[in-house]
C-alpha cells in the first residue's frame, strides 16, 4: 500500500507519430492531440491540483502503478506538462521525460534518482556554476562526493577520476562562458566501461543543435529557462531518459531501482524496464516526494517557445557567427572563445557534434582588463546587462564582476576566466544593430588613458 498522496503516474512514451516526423514538425505537434476532450487546438493550461478517478479500482490501479496514463495529483504530473514532456522526449529521441520547476531541479532529480550517501559523481569542470555549487555544497552535505575532470575530452582523465563508488558522469554538450564542446561519444564510452550512465546537460545546444542520446549519452537534462522556452520569461527544467543504460547488469550498484517499495513487490527495474520507464518512474517518484513540480502555466509558455525553437536557433546561430566574425577582427579584442573558430580547441568536437552551429553563448576578452570590461558593459545600449542566457534579446555580462566574483583573480585564471572576459548571449535581433551597439561600447571602453595604452599595444 502506498503511503503517498499520489503515485508517480502518467509516464507515457514519446508520441509514436513523432518518430517519423522531421524536427520542425515534431516541435509543433509531438505529444499534442487537438481532438482530445473539447477540441481546443492549442494545448490548454489544465489548472487543477487533483484529478477525479473513475471509481475506486481506477484510483487503486493508479496508486499501484498498474495504470500509468492517468493523473491523480498535479505534484506528480498534469496533462499540460505531459504534452511538453512528450514533445521534449520526441525532440531528444528519448523514451520519455519529466518536467521540473527549474533546470536546477532537473539536475537534482536526475542525479539523486541513482546517487545516494557514500556514492561519487564525476563531473566536467566546465559545467554550469550552479551545478558546481550543487555538487560541492549540497551533495557534500548529503555524503555524496564529486571529482572534476579538467580536460573533459580526455577519456583517461574520466577513467582516472572514477572510483568503485562512482554512480554517474555529468557534463554539458556546450558549456559557458568558454563555449567548450563535449566529445559525447568518447565520454559515454568511458562511462559505460566504468558501468555508470552519462548525464548530459544539453541546455545551451538544445535538441535542435545536438541530441546527446544519439551519441551514447543515457540521460539528458535541460534548463528549459534558456533557449527552449526562449523568451526569458519562465524558469523550468526537464529530465529526458534514453532508456539505454542497463541498470540490470550490476543490480547491487542501483538499490533505488531494485529495492521493492513494499515487501514481495518487484523493484522498478524488474517491473518497468521492458516499458523503458524504470529510471523515469524513479525520477517522477522524486518529483512527487521532493516536490519541485512545474506549473502548467509555465509549461504552457515553454510549449509556445518550443514551437519556434528551430527558427530561433537558426537566427541565434547566424547572428552569433556575425558577432564572432566582427569581434575576431576588432583591434580592441584580445581573444574570442567560440567553438567554430579555427584556433578553438573545441573546433573538431563542434564539427562532429554541432553541425548546425555552436550555439549563441560565448565570450571574448577585452584589452584593458576588468576596468575596460566595466566601461564596455556600461556603454551597451541594446544588449541587456543580465545574468541569464538563451533569450530572444541579446545579453552581456562580465563574469569577473558577477557570476565569478567570489573567486580570486588567480582562481578565475585557473578556470579560464580572465578579468577582461565578457560573456555574450546573442539574441534574434537584426545583426547590424548588434554590431553597431558592440562597436560603440568597445570604443567607449577604451577612451581613458589605460585603454589608449592598451590600444597601442594591440596595434603593435
Ligand atoms: C541555467 C542553467 C541551469 C540551471 O537552470 P535553472 O533553470 O536556472 O534552474 C543548468 N544548466 C545550465 C547549463 C544552465 O545554463
**CA 142 → CA 115, 125, 170, 257, distances in Å?**
10, 21, 18, 19
Our mutation pick for probing the ligand 1 site, out of 100, 130, 170, 205, counting the most ligand atoms within 8 A of Cβ, is 130
For residues 338 and 179, the answer to whether their CB atoms sit within 8 Å is yes
Q: Could you check whether the bond before residue 177 is cis, i.e. omega within 30 degrees of 0?
A: yes
**CA 234 → CA 190, 239, 400, distances in Å?**
36, 17, 26
Nearest protein Cα to ligand 1, atom 2: 223
Our mutation pick for probing the ligand 1 site, out of 170, 201, 203, counting the most ligand atoms within 8 A of Cβ, is 203
What are 169's strand-pairing partners?
A: 122, 198
Closest CA to 200 of 231, 257, 165, 238: 238
Supply 156's cell numbers. 583517461
Residues touching ligand 1 (Cβ under 6 Å) are 102-104, 128, 130-131, 172, 201, 203-204, 223, 225-226, 235, 237, 389
Phi-psi region of 390 (alpha: psi -120 to 50; beta: other; left: phi over 0): left
Q: Is the pTM of this model over 0.95?
A: no
Supply 352's cell numbers. 562532429
Q: Which domains does the chain have, with CATH numbers?
A: 23-306 (3.40.640.10), 309-459 (3.90.1150.10)
Buried-exposed string 282-297: b where 16+ CB fall within 10 A, e elsewhere: bbbbbbbeeebbbbbe
Q: Three-class SS of residue 179?
A: coil
What are 149's strand-pairing partners?
A: 124
pLDDT in tens, the chain (460 residues): 333 444 544 444 444 455 688 999 999 889 887 666 678 889 999 999 999 999 999 999 999 889 998 999 999 999 999 999 999 999 999 999 999 999 999 999 999 999 999 999 999 999 999 999 999 999 999 999 999 999 999 999 999 999 999 999 999 999 999 999 999 999 999 999 999 999 999 999 999 999 999 999 999 999 999 999 999 999 999 999 999 999 999 999 999 999 987 888 899 999 999 999 999 999 999 999 999 999 999 999 999 999 999 999 999 999 999 999 999 999 999 999 999 999 999 999 999 999 999 999 999 999 988 899 999 999 999 999 999 999 999 999 999 888 888 777 887 877 788 888 999 999 999 999 999 999 999 999 987 545 455 555 555 4
Query: In angstroms, rounded to a whole number, what is the distance separating the alpha carbons of residues 368 and 363?
Result: 16
Nearest protein Cα to ligand 1, atom 1: 223
Amino acid at each position: 500500500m502506498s503511503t503517498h498522496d499520489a503515485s508517480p503516474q502518467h509516464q507515457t512514451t514519446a508520441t509514436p507519430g513523432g518518430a517519423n516526423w522531421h524536427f520542425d514538425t515534431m516541435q509543433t505537434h509531438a505529444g499534442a492531440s487537438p481532438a482530445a476532450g473539447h477540441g481546443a487546438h492549442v494545448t490548454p493550461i489544465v489548472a487543477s491540483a487533483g484529478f477525479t478517478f473513475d471509481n475506486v479500482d481506477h484510483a487503486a490501479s493508479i496508486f499501484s502503478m498498474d495504470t500509468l496514463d492517468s493523473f491523480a495529483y498535479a505534484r506528480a504530473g498534469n496533462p499540460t506538462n505531459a504534452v511538453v514532456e512528450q514533445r521534449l522526449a520526441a525532440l531528444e529521441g528519448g523514451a520519455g521525460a519529466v518536467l521540473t520547476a527549474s533546470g536546477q531541479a532537473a539536475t537534482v532529480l536526475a542525479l539523486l534518482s541513482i546517487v545516494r550517501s557514500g556514492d561519487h559523481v564525476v563531473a566536467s569542470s566546465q559545467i554550469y556554476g550552479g551545478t558546481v555549487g550543487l555538487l560541492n555544497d549540497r551533495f557534500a552535505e548529503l555524503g555524496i562526493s564529486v571529482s572534476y575532470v579538467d580536460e573533459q575530452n580526455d577519456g583517461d582523465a574520466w577513467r582516472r577520476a572514477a572510483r568503485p563508488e562512482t554512480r554517474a558522469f555529468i557534463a554539458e554538450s556546450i558549456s559557458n562562458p568558454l563555449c567548450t564542446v563535449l566529445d559525447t561519444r568518447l565520454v559515454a564510452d568511458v562511462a559505460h566501461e566504468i558501468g555508470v550512465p552519462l548525464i548530459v546537460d544539453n541546455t545551451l545546444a538544445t535538441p535542435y543543435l545536438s541530441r546527446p542520446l544519439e551519441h551514447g549519452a543515457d540521460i539528458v537534462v535541460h534548463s528549459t529557462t534558456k533557449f527552449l522556452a526562449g523568451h526569458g520569461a519562465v524558469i523550468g527544467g526537464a529530465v529526458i531518459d534514453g532508456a539505454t543504460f542497463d541498470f540490470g547488469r550490476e543490480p547491487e550498484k542501483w538499490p533505488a531501482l531494485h529495492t521493492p517499495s513494499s515487501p514481495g513487490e518487484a523493484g522498478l527495474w524488474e517491473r518497468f524496464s521492458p516499458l523503458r520507464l524504470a529510471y523515469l518512474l524513479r525520477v517522477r517518484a522524486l518529483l512527487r516526494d521532493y516536490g519541485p513540480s512545474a506549473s502548467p502555466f509555465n509549461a504552457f509558455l515553454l510549449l509556445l517557445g518550443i514551437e519556434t525553437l528551430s527558427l530561433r536557433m537558426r537566427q541565434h546561430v547566424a547572428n552569433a557567427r556575425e558577432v564572432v566574425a566582427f569581434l575576431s577582427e576588432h583591434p580592441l579584442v584580445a581573444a574570442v572563445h567560440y567553438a567554430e573558430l579555427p584556433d578553438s580547441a573545441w573546433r573538431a568536437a563542434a564539427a562532429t557534434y554541432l553541425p548546425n552551429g555552436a550555439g549563441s553563448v560565448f565570450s571574448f576578452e577585452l584589452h584593458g582588463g576588468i576596468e575596460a570590461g566595466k566601461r564596455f558593459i556600461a556603454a551597451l545600449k541594446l544588449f541587456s546587462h543580465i545574468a541569464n542566457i538563451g533569450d530572444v534579446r541579446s545579453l552581456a555580462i562580465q563574469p569577473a564582476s558577477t557570476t565569478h566574483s567570489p573567486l580570486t583573480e588567480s582562481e578565475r585564471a585557473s578556470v579560464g576566466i580572465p578579468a577582461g572576459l565578457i560573456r555574450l548571449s546573442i539574441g534574434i535581433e537584426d545583426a547590424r544593430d548588434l554590431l553597431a551597439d558592440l562597436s560603440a561600447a568597445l570604443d567607449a571602453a577604451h577612451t581613458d588613458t589605460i585603454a589608449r595604452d592598451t590600444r597601442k599595444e594591440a596595434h603593435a
